[in-house]
Amino acid sequence: MVSSRNKTRILKALLIFLGLVPALLLLQATLNEQLGANPIQTLHFRLGDWALRFLLLGLALTPIKIITKQAWPLRYRRILGLLAFFYASLHVLVYVVLDLSGSWTAFVDEVPKSPYILLGLLSYTLLVPLAVTSTKYFQRRLAKRWFVLHSLVYFAALSACLHYMWLVKLDISLPLLYMGLLVILLSIRVVNFYRNRMV
């Protein structure tokens, strides 16, 4: 009989595997030249999509806990956060290395002209310390400061949604969907916070 701890480990391993599947499919599509007329842009956009999806999935775990009154979903928050950071890193890497050809001059010239790039960089910059301090070691070491630091994820998600919305010039239905989901997830947290204070 599989113990509860082993079940959690198996589910975490499965979640990591499933989380890497989009990257593997994108790699296959890239190698087989199946990304359309503008492969760099397609790769860039799809990686950004997955980064935001995993970020929102991670933020959804606490509302799921609030609604179901079950704490087990929070066990997978770190994995989803790291997957979001993984795809966000690839998203930035494709932009810098492939889109700008690794040119620092082009980067310095391009970024000030594009507010949506600034928002994207802000979002990624906020995710870096969260990824670095995601281990139990840092959680113990930082104590209450760890929770304060990791509240930056809300600002990272908001700036990522705005980055996406500003980037898309025609059909903004998907960015609006992501923004709507973020508003719902944050609203559940806010309502729960004030409800607990009134008890």
Please write the tens of the pLDDT for every residue from 147-158: 999 999 999 999
Residue 1 has pLDDT above 60, yes or no: no
For the chain, the domains span 4-198
Q: What is the pLDDT of residue 110?
A: 81
Q: What is the pLDDT of residue 199?
A: 59
Please write the tens of the pLDDT for every residue from 27-78: 999 999 899 889 999 999 999 999 999 999 999 999 999 999 998 889 999 9
For residue 170, report the phi and psi dihedrals to the nearest 5 degrees. Answer: -110, -80
Per-chain mean pLDDT for the chain:
91
- Cβ 85 vs Cβ 130: under 8 Å: yes
Please write the tens of the pLDDT for every residue from 71-106: 888 999 999 999 999 999 999 999 999 888 888 888
- Compute the distance between CA of residue 2 and CA of residue 186 in angstroms, rounded to an integer: 36
Q: How many CB atoms lie within 10 A of CB 154?
A: 15
Angle (CA) 38 40 45, round 5°: 95
Residue 180 has pLDDT above 80, yes or no: yes
Q: How confident is the model at residue 162 (pLDDT cuts 50, 70, 90)?
A: very high
- Compute the distance between CA of residue 180 and CA of residue 174 in angstroms, rounded to an integer: 10
Length of the chain: 199
Residue 5 has pLDDT above 80, yes or no: no
Residue 11 has pLDDT above 80, yes or no: yes
